[in-house]
Structure 1
Amino acid sequence: METLPLAKFRQQVEQHPERVWLRQPRAGQLLNLRWQDVDEQARRLAAALQAMGCAPGDRVAIWGKNCAEWFISDLAIMMAGLVSVPLYPAQSATGLRYVLEHSKTKVLIIGRLDDLPDLNSAVPEQVIRIAMPLCDLPSQHDWATLQAKYAALPLAQLHQQSAEELATIVYTSGTTGNPKGVMHSPRTMAFAAAQAVAHMQINEDDRFFSYLPLSHVAERFMVEMASLFSGAPVSFAESLETFADDLRDVQPTVFFSVPRLWTRFQQGVLEKMPAAKLDKLLKLPLINRLVARKIRQALGLNAARIMITGAAPISRSLLTWYARLGLHLNEGYGMSENMAYGCFNLPGQIRHGTVGKAMPNNEVRISETGEILFRSRALMQGYYLEPEKTAETLIDGWLHTGDKGELDSDGYLTITGRVKDIFKTSKGKYVAPAPIEGLLAASELIEQVCLLGSGMDQPVALLELAPATGELAQAEIEQRLSEHLGHVNRQLLAHERVRFAYVVSQPWTIDNGCMTPTLKIRRNHLESLFAESLAALKPEQPVLWQAQHTQKIGEPA
């Protein structure tokens, strides 16, 4: 049986009280929190929560960007026997209110946020608010005052976790409809973390850097829980402005990012060194090693031995680009529903184009309809207050992911698309958009791509251009995109070939509804904006620009 999170935390405190676990830069200074410091602060906050009337099983939400206090809050909630509800920092006021009301949250702990919403519309009046350091929103309680008040009255008797109790409700960002509340227990969290730490050989000498939203199960599992179970220290960024410097200072050995940010890191390199020049230098003996090391150091990844990419597909060309720099990205795959404990490309065993093999003590198989299924001790308890959706997703002990995939003879899994994303053209042919989007995304000109085609003669590609294209003439962009589109189409079956590319005028963001808080494209939303008008176009040229048409993003198609 697994050692549960609170018991593991107590082990770390007892065995390594003076060892630093959390490193928080603040106002130009580095705050080093030892295991015993975290224990003291968490016990004080747990006592405060109980004094506010929180009883075992009550919900406490955490809303803010990653910081040491986020970890401490999560531990305090466990210590008091409460249930955590992590919220995305970029959550809309409407989405925030839905989650707080649906989960019946009693207390909201608020941290630093980039955009300050109207609390009156976002937070129900009865919800008690606690402000972390650097929180600019009005709250009834603040961190420093509570820490001082309960310094002499910390929680003495910690809640005794049971394996199957409800520990957290993680609301999926959802590409359609309201988010679903994924229920996880201490056992699922412990199982996933302990297995991953052993499988990846992570230990107390490693270093984590936490910056992706802790409200996403992957960051919580792969950074918070993995550091708890390995004893490895975690560092945070002070702000978006200091992010690059903070990352370089830390030089993490384990680093987790998503494809869109891996693309941004690449663009940052290419803005300083054009692709043609870099390619030439990387072909020169001896020089190539010096150049690659300099770039790794500038990125802050020279010491990284495990570089995880997940949450969305990543192109082979981007994986190859990083590999030439000596940065071998480890693509993985999991879901909120299995604590992100799915498949992984281990260092030294990477197979590009796949998401790796099943993690230990985790079964994966492909159903008769081509759907990916998982079975392990990391599976959720179900969706909060939604038994029908739970029954549709958990069947006979197997998690039905909604993703389509293929397993090769060595057990490597390739994701071929979403079951619901596959569309049928007017010719009656079915098209899986994900593989085609992956081929199109290989161009350094393209930031994001979404393939549409339901009911159309041929698919059409919506393109958001990369920021670096701002320095190029439109004619050059059109020529290069046309050549790339021709190259992609030559690899496709006749009914899959992209009729034309449509370059959008505005970036897809969380605010305009085109992206989820986890930076996944809301395909249905883009279809509602563009599909009808694009189907009516019969262009002769392969590239069209939205700026030359009347429709603007955010307006009905």
Structure 2
Amino acid sequence: MPVAFRLPLQVFYEREARHPRQPFLVQPIGGGAVQTLTWGDVGHQARCAAHWLRARELPQGSHIALISKNCAHWIIADLAIWMAGHVSVPLYPNLTADSVTHVLQHSEAVLVFIGKLDDWPTMAPGVPAGVPTISLPLCPAGDFDYRWADLQGCSPIQDDPLPPASALATIIYTSGTTGLPKGVMHSFGALGFAATHGTELFGLGEGDRLLSYLPLCHVAERMFVEMASIYTGQTVYFAESLDTFLTDLRRARPTALFGVPRIWTKFQMGVYARIPGKRLDRLLRLPFIGKRVGHKVLAGLGLDALRIALSGAAPVPEALLRWYQRLGLDVLEVYGMTENCGYSHVCRPGQQKIGWIGLPCPGVEVRIDQAGEVQVRSGATMLGYFKDAQRTAEVLTEDGFLRTGDKGEQDADGRLRLTGRLKEIFKTSKGKYVAPAPIENRLAEHARIEQVCVVGDGLTAPMGLCVLSTVGQPEARHALQDSLERWLEQVNAALDKHERLRQLVVVKDTWAVENGFLTPTLKIKRNVIESTYGPQFQVWSERTEVILWQD
């Protein structure tokens, strides 16, 4: 029996009509000032833009690209594209010109909205000749074919267009941890299925607040911020920049927040920069006082109003989850992929089992095949990869299950635990297979390690490469040497013999999005790490030191 759900535009029209004066989007505009747009404001601007798009007389279902950092007009442009009967194609706001060209040409985009960007001059050459550009508010300086003011000069459309559930709504290009990104096609029905049932899990509503800071072009922020705010009526606050992030966070005082593990780690590192970890842990253990200290720490971060804290995109170190619990905050893990709208598994409030993600989301079927691969099926599954029938057939089974590429297991209650990526598992020269993700997750629990990558394909034993946290970097090397040696010994003691690391290499580089080591959602790119340091793997593995420092 099909599960009932509502479509995104249908829900938006209802809110626009019911409370047009209620705040919807709060946008920083510089100098500490903000612009608040109501549901009526958003509807009016989207309808004017939809009128302009209709007047272009493009074929129905044309692909229109959107290149911008998170901002109010990202969401308004997305709504306008849908109202005009077209398909939105969001791009990451920090792509190279070559990547921009690839996505725009592959997606067959006929127009491009250009919004808030940090380095437009390096991206601009990537827009193919003949593809018109439209500047949004807060856009960088440049030559654009049309301005947002041109679109707003049109009268708003008066009808409430509603594409069918089966219609293509968006093509989301994966962030590409390996190789070129794939264009994931999602229907309005898939978005509606995930948003309708996902928002029912947490009891969020019109009095709640979100902070938007992870890329909206990524499926997680698209669902947790754009779709969730439309379906629940939450107010969305936008972050202005990295420099103002804490100010933006305190302004929003979100009641719900989604973050990748590295964001939750950075919050912790920020706290440790102000108060030593051991002292804080002692204070948190004190009766009565500990609870007040935890609340004060959360208030300093702007997280004291948080009711729902979620983490996804990668495993969260168990020690980090327990640290937040001591502060009085349960960070709940979620699991999903671009290919299923990020809608697969989530830990329910009050049902947290450390080390396990949680139960399947409503309407999601789960099975684990003989190789241990997690496979899922639901109404949120993609239509396929755009112009790539072969890879679509490789990832979707004949009976409609999505091959996740993740190995996992379920407990008696149906909770899921991931044990590694099938493609990331490597074989040592001794013929033994090693899954790096669980080992990396354990190593990352050390307070001075911020990022870690375990390698070992073809080596006699695995080794770990790590980047120190901002707290660990200033510390004396000899003090860290002893601490890291003890930690590696402790981690190895819990591993099977063939999994034990020969050494831990502290690299001097920073792994960031800007230099290509991380995806825009802060996942490590293993292929980049292996190509960068690979020539030294054999030399390092022949050294006798347990902790090596790259000089």
In the alignment of these two chains, the number of paired residues is: 544
Given candidates 423, 428, 433, the residue that maps to 1:425 is 428
How far, CA to CA, are the matches of 1:173 and 1:199 in structure 2?
27
From 118, 123, 127, give the equivalent of 1:123.
127
Q: Shift of the alpha carbon at 1:80? A: 0.2
User: What's the CA shift for 1:120?
Assistant: 4.7
**Structure 2 partner of 1:401:** 404
| TM-score in terms of structure 1 length | 0.95
**Contact 1:259/1:313 (<8 A) preserved:** yes
Query: In the TM superposition, what whole-angstrom CA distance separates every residue of 1:447-505 from its partner, at most 9, and x where no partner exists?
Result: 11000011111001011111112220111111111111111011111111000011111
1:145 Cα deviation after fit: 4.0
- CA offset at residue 530 of structure 1? 2.0
2:230 corresponds to: 228
Q: What amino acid is aligned across from residue 444 of structure 1 in structure 2? A: A
Residues 1:434 and 2:437 are matched in the alignment:
yes
Alpha-carbon distance in 1 for matches of 2:122, 2:241:
22
Residue type of the alignment partner of 1:229: Y
Residue 316 in structure 1 maps to residue 318 in structure 2: yes
* Contact map agreement 1:93 1:117 (CA 8 A) in 2: no
- Of the three residues 87, 96, 109, the one matched with 2:113 is 109
CA RMSD of aligned residues (A): 1.3
Match of 1:55 in 2: 59
The reply on whether 1:281 has 2:286 as its aligned counterpart is no
Aligned 8 A contact 1:168 1:183 in 2: yes
* Separation of aligned partners in 2, 1:120 and 1:268: 35
Q: Is the 8 A contact 1:452 1:531 kept in 2?
A: no
The correspondence of residues 249-260 of structure 1 with structure 2, limited to 5 A, is: 249-260=251-262
Q: Does 1:449 align with 2:452?
A: yes
**Per-residue deviation at 1:95?**
1.3
Q: CA deviation at 1:195?
A: 0.1
The answer to whether the aligner puts 1:473 opposite 2:459 as a matched pair is no
The CA deviation string for residues 185-243 of structure 1, in whole angstroms up to 9 with x for no partner, is 00000110010111222221221111110000011111110110111111112332222
Tell me whether 1:94 sits opposite 2:104 in the alignment: no
Paired residues of 1:131 and 1:137 also in contact (CA < 8 A) = no
Instruction: Measure the CA separation in 1 of the matches of 2:168 and 2:471.
Output: 46
| Counterparts of 2:354 and 2:235, CA distance in 1 | 30
Q: 2:413 aligns with which of 407, 410, 413?
A: 410
| Aligned mates of 2:137, 2:58 — CA distance in 1 | 22
1:161 counterpart (160, 163, 169)? 163
User: Where does residue 217 of structure 1 map in the other structure?
Assistant: 219
Q: C-alpha deviations, 1:94-113, integer Å up to 9, x for none? A: 21111001001111111112
**How many Å separate the matches in 2 of 1:53 and 1:238?**
35
Paired amino acid for 1:146 = L
Distance 2:529 2:331 in 1: 30
How far off is 1:133 after superposition? 1.6
Look up the equivalent residue of 1:258 and give its one-letter code: V
- How far is the alpha carbon of 1:158 from its aligned partner? 4.1
For normalisation by structure 2, the TM-score amounts to: 0.96
Instruction: Give the partner amino acid of 2:81.
Output: I
**2:443–2:488 CA contact under 8 A, matched in 1:** yes
Verify: 1:10 aligned to 2:50, yes or no.
Answer: no
**CA separation of 1:195 and 1:120: change in aligned 2, threshold 3 A:** closer
Structure 2 vs 1, CA of residues 119 and 452 (structure 1 numbering), >3 Å: closer, same or farther?
A: closer
- For 1:520, the equivalent position in structure 2 comes to 523
Partner of 1:375: 377
Amino acid at match of 2:175: S
Alpha-carbon shift at residue 41 of structure 1 (Å): 0.2
CA distance in 1, matches of 2:418, 2:121: 37
- Is the contact between residue 197 and residue 203 of structure 1 (CA under 8 Å) also seen in structure 2? no
Secondary structure of the structure 2 residue equivalent to 1:405? strand
1:301 aligns with 2:303: yes
* Residue 146, structure 1, aligned to residue 151, structure 2: yes
Structure 2, unpaired ranges of 5+: none
Higher mean displacement: 241-250 or 318-327:
241-250
Match for 1:370: what amino acid? G
How far apart in 1 are the matches of 2:522 and 2:240? 22
CA distance in 2, matches of 1:408, 1:92: 43
- Out of 30, 33, 53, the residue aligned to residue 29 of structure 1 is 33
SS of 2:117's partner is coil
- State yes or no: 1:494 paired with 2:488: no
Q: Indicate the SS of the match to 2:73.
A: helix
Tell me if structure 2 keeps the 8 A contact 1:57–1:81. yes
Decide whether aligned partners of structure 1 residues 512 and 246 sit closer, same or farther in structure 2, where only a CA change above 3 A counts: closer
- Tell me if the contact between 2:13 and 2:160 (Cα under 8 Å) persists in the aligned partners: no
Give the aligned residue type for 1:331. E
Contact 1:100-1:123 at 8 Å conserved across structures: yes
Paired residue secondary structure (2:334):
strand
Q: CA deviation at 1:53?
A: 4.3
Is this contact kept in 2: 1:307–1:328, CA < 8 A?
yes
State the percentage of identical aligned residues. Answer: 48
Q: Alignment partner of 1:125: what SS?
A: coil
SS in 1 for 2:472: helix
Give the distance between the partners of 1:154 and 1:223, measured in 2 at CA: 25
- In structure 2, distance between residues paired with 1:42 and 1:95: 28
AA in 1 matched with 2:451: Q
C-alpha distance in structure 2 between counterparts of 1:424 and 1:118, whole Å: 40
Cα displacement (A) at 1:119: 4.2
Higher mean C-alpha displacement, 379-388 vs 4-13: 4-13
Secondary structure at the residue paired with 1:455? coil
Alpha-carbon deviations, 1:47-70, whole Å to 9, x = none? 222334433211111111111111
CA distance in 2, matches of 1:415, 1:137: 46
Measure, in 1, the Cα distance between the counterparts of 2:383 and 2:224. 20
In structure 1, C-alpha distance between the alignment counterparts of 2:178 and 2:366, rounded to whole Å: 26
